[in-house]
Amino acid sequence: MVVTAADGHPVRTMADWDGLVAAHAPGETVALTAVDDGKERQLSLTVGTYPSDHAYADLERAAKADDVLAARLDSGALMVVANKTPTNVYLAYRNLPYQIEVFDPSGETARELALAGEIEPIR
Protein backbone atom coordinates (compact mmCIF):
# COMPACT_ATOMS: atom_id res chain seq x y z
CA MET A 1 0.00 0.00 0.00
CA VAL A 2 1.29 3.46 -0.93
CA VAL A 3 -0.22 6.62 0.53
CA THR A 4 -0.65 9.19 -2.25
CA ALA A 5 -2.56 11.96 -0.44
CA ALA A 6 -3.51 13.08 3.05
CA ASP A 7 -6.44 15.43 3.59
CA GLY A 8 -6.41 16.11 -0.17
CA HIS A 9 -2.73 17.16 -0.23
CA PRO A 10 -0.34 15.08 -2.39
CA VAL A 11 2.18 12.91 -0.56
CA ARG A 12 5.19 12.44 -2.84
CA THR A 13 8.06 12.41 -0.35
CA MET A 14 8.71 11.61 3.30
CA ALA A 15 9.01 15.38 3.86
CA ASP A 16 5.44 15.77 2.55
CA TRP A 17 4.28 13.03 4.94
CA ASP A 18 6.16 14.49 7.92
CA GLY A 19 4.69 17.93 7.28
CA LEU A 20 1.15 16.62 7.07
CA VAL A 21 1.52 14.50 10.21
CA ALA A 22 3.03 17.45 12.08
CA ALA A 23 0.01 19.57 11.13
CA HIS A 24 -2.34 17.24 13.05
CA ALA A 25 -2.62 17.03 16.80
CA PRO A 26 -2.74 13.59 18.40
CA GLY A 27 -6.26 12.24 18.19
CA GLU A 28 -7.19 14.04 14.97
CA THR A 29 -8.27 11.91 12.05
CA VAL A 30 -6.50 12.19 8.69
CA ALA A 31 -8.26 11.29 5.43
CA LEU A 32 -5.87 9.24 3.30
CA THR A 33 -5.85 8.23 -0.33
CA ALA A 34 -3.78 5.14 -0.99
CA VAL A 35 -3.07 2.75 -3.85
CA ASP A 36 -3.17 -0.93 -2.97
CA ASP A 37 -2.67 -3.60 -5.65
CA GLY A 38 -3.37 -0.97 -8.31
CA LYS A 39 -6.68 0.11 -6.75
CA GLU A 40 -7.23 3.49 -5.14
CA ARG A 41 -8.67 3.36 -1.60
CA GLN A 42 -10.03 6.08 0.67
CA LEU A 43 -9.04 5.55 4.31
CA SER A 44 -9.05 7.37 7.60
CA LEU A 45 -6.30 7.17 10.15
CA THR A 46 -5.99 8.48 13.69
CA VAL A 47 -2.55 8.79 15.27
CA GLY A 48 -1.90 9.48 18.93
CA THR A 49 1.20 9.81 21.06
CA TYR A 50 1.66 9.08 24.75
CA PRO A 51 4.55 10.65 26.64
CA SER A 52 6.57 8.11 28.61
CA ASP A 53 10.20 8.06 29.68
CA HIS A 54 10.15 4.26 29.33
CA ALA A 55 7.95 3.84 26.23
CA TYR A 56 10.13 1.21 24.55
CA ALA A 57 10.61 -0.85 27.72
CA ASP A 58 6.88 -0.64 28.47
CA LEU A 59 6.03 -1.91 24.99
CA GLU A 60 8.66 -4.67 25.29
CA ARG A 61 6.82 -5.90 28.40
CA ALA A 62 3.48 -5.74 26.57
CA ALA A 63 5.00 -7.70 23.66
CA LYS A 64 5.55 -10.70 25.94
CA ALA A 65 1.81 -11.26 26.50
CA ASP A 66 0.22 -14.32 24.91
CA ASP A 67 -2.60 -12.42 23.22
CA VAL A 68 -0.55 -9.97 21.11
CA LEU A 69 1.23 -9.80 17.78
CA ALA A 70 4.65 -8.20 18.24
CA ALA A 71 7.29 -7.38 15.63
CA ARG A 72 10.53 -5.44 15.43
CA LEU A 73 10.32 -3.33 12.29
CA ASP A 74 13.11 -2.36 9.90
CA SER A 75 12.64 1.25 11.04
CA GLY A 76 13.81 0.23 14.51
CA ALA A 77 10.34 0.43 16.02
CA LEU A 78 8.75 -2.22 18.16
CA MET A 79 5.15 -2.83 17.06
CA VAL A 80 2.50 -4.44 19.25
CA VAL A 81 -1.10 -5.27 18.32
CA ALA A 82 -3.43 -6.77 20.90
CA ASN A 83 -5.58 -9.56 19.44
CA LYS A 84 -8.64 -8.37 21.37
CA THR A 85 -8.34 -4.81 19.97
CA PRO A 86 -6.72 -5.27 16.55
CA THR A 87 -7.83 -1.78 15.46
CA ASN A 88 -4.99 -0.23 17.49
CA VAL A 89 -1.30 -0.56 16.65
CA TYR A 90 1.28 0.62 19.17
CA LEU A 91 4.84 1.62 18.20
CA ALA A 92 7.84 2.66 20.26
CA TYR A 93 11.38 3.60 19.28
CA ARG A 94 14.43 3.26 21.51
CA ASN A 95 15.47 6.53 23.14
CA LEU A 96 12.25 8.38 22.27
CA PRO A 97 10.12 9.49 25.21
CA TYR A 98 6.73 8.56 23.78
CA GLN A 99 4.67 5.72 22.40
CA ILE A 100 2.68 6.04 19.16
CA GLU A 101 -0.82 4.64 18.71
CA VAL A 102 -2.27 4.21 15.24
CA PHE A 103 -6.02 3.56 15.00
CA ASP A 104 -8.02 2.35 12.03
CA PRO A 105 -11.61 1.06 12.33
CA SER A 106 -10.71 -2.15 10.50
CA GLY A 107 -7.21 -2.40 11.92
CA GLU A 108 -5.89 -3.57 8.57
CA THR A 109 -4.70 -0.17 7.38
CA ALA A 110 -2.98 0.66 10.67
CA ARG A 111 -1.07 -2.65 10.60
CA GLU A 112 -0.16 -2.30 6.90
CA LEU A 113 1.16 1.25 7.38
CA ALA A 114 3.19 0.24 10.44
CA LEU A 115 4.62 -2.88 8.80
CA ALA A 116 5.51 -0.92 5.65
CA GLY A 117 7.46 1.61 7.74
CA GLU A 118 5.07 4.44 6.87
CA ILE A 119 4.62 5.55 10.49
CA GLU A 120 7.72 7.32 11.73
CA PRO A 121 8.36 9.67 14.61
CA ILE A 122 8.88 13.33 13.93
CA ARG A 123 12.27 14.18 15.37
Reported as a single tens digit per residue, the pLDDT across 46-96 is 777 788 889 999 999 999 999 999 999 888 889 999 888 788 888 898 988
Rounded CA-CA distance 110/93 in Å is: 17
Per-residue DSSP letter, 73:
-
Rounded CA-CA distance 35/26 in Å is: 25
The strand pairing partners of 68, in sequence order, are: 82
- Look at the domain 2-115 and name its fold: Pdz3 Domain (2.30.42)
Nearest 5°: phi and psi at 11? Answer: -120, 105
> How high is the pLDDT of residue 75?
82
Render pLDDT for 16-32 as a digit per residue (tens, 0 to 9). Answer: 776 776 677 777 888 88
Rounded CA-CA distance 118/89 in Å is: 13
The count of other CB atoms within 10 Å of the CB of residue 48 is 16
In terms of Cβ atoms closer than 10 Å to its own Cβ (0-12, 13-18, 19+), residue 14 is exposed
Q: What dihedral angle (degrees, nearest 10) is formed by the CA atoms of 88, 55, 70, 85? A: -20
The domain segmentation of the chain, as residue ranges, is 2-115
In terms of Cβ atoms closer than 10 Å to its own Cβ (0-12, 13-18, 19+), residue 61 is exposed
pTM of the model: 0.66
